[in-house]
Amino acid sequence: MDYDFEFESKTFPLRSMPPRGRYSISGQDSITRTLPRTVEEQKPCQLGLNLFSRGKLSEERSLGDINDKWGSTHSGVTIFAYLANKAADAFSLIVSRRSEMYTYMTCRVRADEAYPWPFTTLPYSSQSYPLTGHALSLEVLYVQLRELHQEFSQWPGSYNQLLLAGSLDYCASAVKKAITTHTVISEPVVYSLRDYYTACLSLFSQYNDFKTTIRRINLQSISDKFESLQDICSIQAVYPRLEELDISDGPSE
C-alpha cells in the first residue's frame, strides 16, 4: 500500500526536509520510501515504526532509529518519530532529532487507496484531535522533554545526573498534565519550560561523549533555573512544586 507523505514544518524552520516522494507501508512496523527522486536518494529511508500499537495521543512512543540516510546531511543521526495525532483520513507524526532543537515537524500521510489496515480500526482519543496551535506546541515540547529525560536517565548515576533526569521528568509531567486536562499554559510558563529544555539540551550535546564527567560539573545555574521554573509552574497553577507533588505522581509514567 502506497501513501504520499506531505511534510510540513509547523513552527520552526527545518534545516533539511525529508525528501518528498512516494512512501509505502511495508509492514505494520515500517515505512519505506520506495520512489526516490534522485539517484543520490535511492537508498530506502526506513523508519523503525511501532506506530499503531496504541494509537492514542497520550501514549507517544519512540519509533526507533532511522536505519538509513535521512537526507544526505543527516547520515548517522538518530531520529525519533512519535505518533502525535490520528484522524480518519490522516495522521501526524512528530519527528525529532536529538541534540538539535529546531528539528521537529509534522507529517501528514494520505492514503492513495482505501485503508486496509490497523489505523482505521484502532480507537483514538477524540479529545486530542485536532492537534493544532497551542496543543501541537505543547505536544512537541512534551515529546522533546520526555526524550531528553530518557536520555539523561540512562547516563551514569550521580547527583547531577539525577538532577537533570528528575527535573526533565518534572517538566514533562507538567506539560503532560496540561495536555491531558486541556489547560492553556501561559506564555511565560511555556517560555520557561523551553528555556530549561534548551539549557539541558546544551548540556546533553556538550557532555554526551563524556557522560561520566557530568558529575564533576557545577550545575548551580541549572539548579537555580529549575527552582524558578517550579515557582512559575506553581504560581500559574500549572503544576505544584516538586516538594508539594501528590503521592500519585510518585510512580514513573
The reply on whether position 253 binds other proteins by CB under 8 A is: yes
Q: What angle do CA 141, 146, 147 make, to 5 degrees?
A: 100
Distance CA 78, CA 161 (A): 22
The reply on whether position 247 binds other proteins by CB under 8 A is: yes
Concatenated DSSP letters of 157-201: P-HHHHHHHHHHHHHHHHHHHHHHTTPPPPHHHHHHHHHHHHHHH
Among 10, 157, 193, 221, indicate the residue that binds other proteins (CB under 8 A).
157
Cis upstream peptide for 130 (omega within 30°)? yes
| Interacting span for other proteins (CB under 8 A) from 26-34, 117-125, 193-201, 243-251 | 243-251
The reply on whether position 165 binds other proteins by CB under 8 A is: yes
Distance CA 55, CA 44 (A): 25
Q: Which C-beta is closer to other proteins: that of 99 or that of 158?
A: 158
Cell of 129: 484531535
Residue 51's nearest CA partner among 23, 81, 21 is 81
Contact 143, 94 (CB under 8 A): yes
Interface size with other proteins, residues (CB under 8 A): 27
Q: How far is the CB of 222 from other proteins (least distance, A)?
A: 12
Cell of 247: 503521592
From the CA atom positions of the chain, what is the Rg in Å?
19
Four-residue CA torsion sign, 53, 58, 61, 63: positive
Q: How far is the CB of 174 from other proteins (least distance, A)?
A: 10
Residues 169-198 that bind other proteins (CB under 8 A): 169-170, 173
Collapsing DSSP to helix, strand or coil, 54 comes out as coil
The reply on whether position 252 binds other proteins by CB under 8 A is: yes
Distance CA 243, CA 41 (A): 52
Parallel/antiparallel/unpaired status of strands 91-97 and 46-48: unpaired
Q: How far is the CB of 162 from other proteins (least distance, A)?
A: 6
Among 56, 77, 166, 236, indicate the residue that binds other proteins (CB under 8 A).
166
The reply on whether position 163 binds other proteins by CB under 8 A is: yes
Among 24, 158, 183, 236, indicate the residue that binds other proteins (CB under 8 A).
158
Among 215, 225, 232, 234, indicate the residue that binds other proteins (CB under 8 A).
215
| Interacting span for other proteins (CB under 8 A) from 57-65, 78-86, 155-163, 191-199 | 155-163
The reply on whether position 159 binds other proteins by CB under 8 A is: yes
Q: How far is the CB of 167 from other proteins (least distance, A)?
A: 7
Say which residues have a Cβ less than 8 Å from residue 54's Cβ, sequence separation at least 6: 61, 83
Each residue 220-239 as x (binds other proteins by CB under 8 A) or -, in order, gives --------------------
Q: Which C-beta is closer to other proteins: that of 187 or that of 243?
A: 243
State the residues that interact with other proteins by CB under 8 A: 149, 153, 157-159, 162-163, 165-170, 173, 215, 242-253
